[in-house]
Structure 1
Amino acid sequence: MGYGLLAGAIAAEVLATTSMKYSEGFSKLWPSLVTGIGYVVAFALLAQALKTLQVGTAYAVWAGAGTAAVAAIGILFLGETLSLAKIAGIVLIIAGVVVLNLGGAH
């Protein structure tokens, strides 16, 4: 159950961050609302996930997966450039999350 809530928190955070790009500095109503609501939902779900998951692991997975997903969305859909540094960063984030989970931190 904890990891399901964490997945929902990650999805909400990614949606909120992506919407922030479209809000143009919070000057557009709907993307701004999606951003605000998305972050509230993300933190609410993360708080519920922390009832059963260790905070260090949950936060690392939440932040890491969200960062990697937003970077991928930027590259795939928002025209951001793909560089060796971005690829290496995403791979290191994913590797860190895997190590945390395999290392018995949960």
Structure 2
Amino acid sequence: MRHFLYLLLAIVSEVIATSSLKASQGFSRLWPSLLVVVGYGAAFYWFSLSLKQIPLGIAYAIWSGLGTVGVVLIGLFLWGETLNALRVFGIALILIGTVILNLSKAEG
């Protein structure tokens, strides 16, 4: 179960790093730029630990799917970005795909 904690830490680190890219303003602001570098470094570290137990394809699908949703939520609440019905539908498809991959892991 620890490997899923590592994956969750990877996702959170990646969402923080990706969200900080906007605040870095093209790496022209020091602290957000440092957060980008540290966040991605931490994300890859945690992700590598999760891969000791979780198959690569499954781990990456979860990481990218939940990371996408996390960044969308940050965009909504922190940056005031908007969603329309088509975007919500696309995000729902990502989540559904992530769930299906997790369910298929239990069978295969």
Range into which the TM-score falls when normalised by the shorter chain: over 0.9
In structure 2, list runs of 5 or more residues that go unmatched. none
Please give the alpha-carbon distance, in whole angstroms, between the structure 2 residues aligned to 1:7 and 1:104: 17
Normalised by the size of structure 2, how large is the TM-score? 0.94
Please state whether the residue corresponding to 1:66 is helix, strand or coil.
Answer: helix
The answer to whether residue 77 in structure 2 is matched with residue 76 in structure 1 is yes
Please give the alpha-carbon distance, in whole angstroms, between the structure 1 residues aligned to 2:87 and 2:76: 10
Q: Identity percentage over the alignment?
A: 46
Task: Report the equivalent of 2:19.
Answer: 18
Please state whether the residue corresponding to 1:25 is helix, strand or coil.
Answer: coil
Normalised by the size of structure 1, how large is the TM-score? 0.95
Please give the alpha-carbon distance, in whole angstroms, between the structure 2 residues aligned to 1:76 and 1:31: 18
Q: CA RMSD in A?
A: 1.2
In structure 1, what residue type is equivalent to 2:95? I
The answer to whether residue 39 in structure 2 is matched with residue 38 in structure 1 is yes
Please give the alpha-carbon distance, in whole angstroms, between the structure 2 residues aligned to 1:89 and 1:20: 23
Please give the alpha-carbon distance, in whole angstroms, between the structure 2 residues aligned to 1:36 and 1:89: 29
Please give the alpha-carbon distance, in whole angstroms, between the structure 2 residues aligned to 1:20 and 1:54: 29
- Describe how 1:1-106 pairs up with structure 2 within 5 A: 1-104=2-105
Q: How many residues align?
A: 106
Please give the alpha-carbon distance, in whole angstroms, between the structure 1 residues aligned to 2:23 and 2:31: 9
Consecutive aligned runs of 4 or more in structure 1 exceeding 6 Å deviation: none
